[in-house]
Each structure stands twice: as structure tokens, then as C-alpha cells.
Structure 1
């Protein structure tokens, strides 16, 4: 892959591959690869044991030695490729650029592969989130709270969308993430004896009155439609964040953060 140490042509097959991966979800799913950009994102991907297939750098912004110093010698000289300004500008999707991008191999996010290191895991479930910004914010919250896992039920896209990577500031690489249908996720939770707490407007208790000290899954839906009936039919208890203004819902990532940190507070004070 890395026999060309310098690429200046936009017609180069490796450049074309990177552009296609950046733009097309179908290609990311087909090849099991994706593009990521930025020093922190690459550092977190390495820490998360993602395999970097190729690392591109634009020498006017960052040198080869700086790349190796920031990302660690373990990435290997053989995967490093210097690219021209034209190529870098074509590949980069961030306004504030750092001169480094990579093609990486994605991971499996099957529910079967998920493992918990504690007997009372705290898990966040998001059903059918659509906006990359919301997914990114959810993943940042999950990282901040050091959740045991995030599960996307009925996903609308792929986790390696560049906008999700960007909005999560690399937290897509720091969280244990599972993906499955709502039916599959509910079965998974029940098999693991994890209580299901659904954020809902009906038949709900105030979130601060619910005890999250045992194995718990906090389930949130979209702001527009909420959770599907299947979740509410299988809920251990519905929870609600009281609204004191004119509206009856908040952004899904904000709602998730409020409940998650209440659960964390309870666990730390027990």
C-alpha cells in the first residue's frame, strides 16, 4: 500500500480510495475501511487499537518526524505517505487543519462481541439517531462519563461517517459501541439482566427518583418521535426529565447527559 512515499496526483488510486471512503457510506461498509483526520483523532484511534492502513501528511503543516512523534513509532514508516497541497485540500474536511489524515480499518460492533468488566454496567442506548452531530455529542458524553457501552439501535447510518468522527472529537474510538435492531438490543439487555429505563413522556417517573445502582440501560429516542412502542413495552421503568418551560422535549444528547450523570452521582454516593 505504501510503496509511493510521495503522491502529487489526484488520479492516484490510493487518493481515489480515500476520497470515496470519505464520501460514500456504502464504500465504507463494503471495504471495512474509513478516513479520519486530525492528530487527536488518530491518537485516540491508535489507543483504541484501530489499525491504520495508510497515514497521509502534508509536509508544509506537519513533518514526517512530527507525525511519528505524535502518533508513536509503532505506526511504522511504511504506512506514511507525503501528499501534495492539492490532494490534502481535497481530502481534508475540517476547517482547522493539522496536516494529517489516515485510512483505517473499522471494527465489528456486534452485540455478541460486547463484554462488561463490572457486574452492574451502565449503558446508553440511542434508538435511530440520525444527525451526526447528535451521535457525536452522545459519544462525547459517554466518554466523559466512562460508560461501559453505547448501543445504537436501528441505526440510520454508519459510525464512521466523517461528521460523526469530527463531532465526537474521536470518542467513536474510545467507547465500546454495539449496533443492532431494537429487538436484538432488547434481547441482549434481558439476557444480561440489565434493567431498561426508557426516556418517555407517559407513565414515567422523575429521573432523580429512580435508582440506577444496579446494571442499567438508559434508553433515549429521537426528539421528533421518541422511542418505538417495542421499547416501552419492554421497559423496566419509564423516566422523565420535568420540563418547566413551554416545550416538552430537549435535544437527545442533552437529555442523555442529564440522566447519565444523575446515574453516575447515585453510584458514587452509594
Structure 2
């Protein structure tokens, strides 16, 4: 890596570019997004996500492995490594407690072909996230999907940008570890039908508990928006609708919590327990 002079001015055009990329319109226009954090960048590297440049401030490092990661990003991705002052890093960071690493990456286009082919040797388990509104929830869904070892995640009719910095942060980098596709509801429903994937939806209107249905075969768990739930297109096309019984006064759970409950029940059934 070449030793570059640190950027110290808050008025530097590159600093202003990084700050602009917090806005979805600028990410769309420039085709770039931000990845901040050692863990997130490590997973991006492992997931073969291209990285164009990394802004770094050793003053904020939390460990001793950051220099090696920077070497790998430079060697494998050809990323330019640009040191900055602590004042500049605080300006470009979107975290309360930065760890001194923030990268720019080209924004990928993830279609349904990203999910590959269904070979039938192992029953696939997909997660469908329809119209999720909050970046933190979408990121947590990706983290949950990674923990459950899902085959893939399909984000449909998106209300929030997959590459919002808060999605990347809440996913703790699992945005780069799970196969992800973006599609319309119509495209996704057709793809699942063509591949013989059973659609299972959660809804409080169902009388069937999630533990009382077979979740061991090829299926996609379909989760709706925080405020409105699933729309009629999905409810009409789902093969099975289940509910999570509630013992208290609340009539629903956070979408990420509900997703975790049903996905791990599917894992339990698939393990034979």
C-alpha cells in the first residue's frame, strides 16, 4: 500500500462525497454505497464484494488486525487506502462509536438469478421480506436469515434501500454472506411457483399455530411490512398461513422477532428434533 497524505480538511470534495452517500438519491446516482466497520468489511471481503476505496483512522481502531485487513482489501480488491484525520473520520462516520474503517463500494444489482438453481438435494428455505420500512429491521432480518442458514432472501416491493448505511450496520455485514435478490411481488411469486417452493405466511388472522404445520420441505417464509403486514397478493398466493400465539396484551411482534421464531422452528423440524 502506498503511504498517502491524510485528508485533514472537512471541505475536501472526497469527504463531501462520502457524506452525500448517506442519501439514497446520491447512492442511486453514483452507484456507490458505504460499508463501515471492521466486521462488516471483513464479511464484505469474504463475500467477494468489490471495494473501491477505504478511509481509515488508526486512532479509532479497536484491535490489532485492522492493518492486515487493509492489506487484504488492497491486494484482493485493488482498494485505495486513504488515511484521514480524526476530525474528518468523525465527519464521514455514521456511527456513534466509529472503529476507524469506512469504505466505498460499487452498488451490486441483485436479481432472482442471484439465488441460483434449486437442485432438490436439500430442501431450500427462503425468506421473503415485503415492503419492510425500517432499515434497522431489514438489516436484522438479514442477520437472522444468516443465523438460520437460509438458502436466500428475496426483498420485494422495497420501501427502504438495501444499501442504506443502517441496513449494512444492523446486518453486521451479513448483507454479504447470504444470497439476496430484489424483485417485485409478481416476479417473486412466479419464481417460487416455477421452482416448486411452498409459500408460508404469518398472519394473526390464521388459526393454525406455526408449530403445527410442516416446515421441513422446500418453502419460503413470507413476512410483511411492520405497519400493514402482507398485502392481498401474497395472502392469496400463499399455500399455508400460520400464526404465532400471543399470551399477553400485544397482538403482534416485531417483524424480525417473528421471523426468527418461525425460521428456527423450521430448523428444529429439519434437524429431526
- With normalisation by structure 1, the TM-score equals 0.91
Rounded Cα–Cα distance in structure 2 between residues aligned with 1:264 and 1:71: 37
How far the C-alpha of 1:122 sits from its partner, in A, is 0.1
Match of 1:26 in 2: 25
Structure 1 residue runs without a partner (length 5+): none
How far the C-alpha of 1:56 sits from its partner, in A, is 0.8
Q: Residue 221 of structure 1 contacts residue 227 of structure 1 at CA under 8 Å; is this kept in 2? A: yes
Q: Residue 194 of structure 1 contacts residue 216 of structure 1 at CA under 8 Å; is this kept in 2? A: yes
SS of the equivalent of 1:36 reads strand
Go from structure 1 to structure 2 and tell me whether the alpha carbon gap of 1:268 and 1:71 turns closer, same or farther (over 3 Å shift). Answer: farther
How far the C-alpha of 1:105 sits from its partner, in A, is 1.5
Q: Residue 142 of structure 1 contacts residue 150 of structure 1 at CA under 8 Å; is this kept in 2? A: yes
How far the C-alpha of 1:221 sits from its partner, in A, is 1.1
SS of the equivalent of 2:230 reads coil
Match of 1:81 in 2: 82
The CA RMSD over aligned residues, in Å, is 2.2
Most deviating of 77-86 and 51-60: 77-86
How far the C-alpha of 1:142 sits from its partner, in A, is 0.6
Match of 1:91 in 2: 92
Match of 1:154 in 2: 157
Match of 2:69 in 1: 70
1:18-167 alignment to 2 at 5 Å?
18-21=18-21, 23-62=22-61, 67-76=66-75, 79-116=80-117, 119=120, 120-167=123-170
Out of 243, 258, 261, the position equivalent to 2:261 is 258
SS of the equivalent of 2:58 reads coil
Q: Residue 111 of structure 2 contacts residue 182 of structure 2 at CA under 8 Å; is this kept in 1? A: yes
1:163-184, Cα deviation, whole Å (9 max, x unpaired): 1111111111111111111111
Match of 1:191 in 2: 194
Rounded Cα–Cα distance in structure 1 between residues aligned with 2:3 and 2:13: 12
Go from structure 1 to structure 2 and tell me whether the alpha carbon gap of 1:146 and 1:5 turns closer, same or farther (over 3 Å shift). Answer: farther
Rounded Cα–Cα distance in structure 1 between residues aligned with 2:162 and 2:143: 14
Q: Which runs of 4+ in 1 moved over 3 A?
A: 2-5, 65-68
Q: Residue 58 of structure 1 contacts residue 82 of structure 1 at CA under 8 Å; is this kept in 2? A: yes
How far the C-alpha of 1:62 sits from its partner, in A, is 4.1
Go from structure 1 to structure 2 and tell me whether the alpha carbon gap of 1:239 and 1:72 turns closer, same or farther (over 3 Å shift). Answer: farther
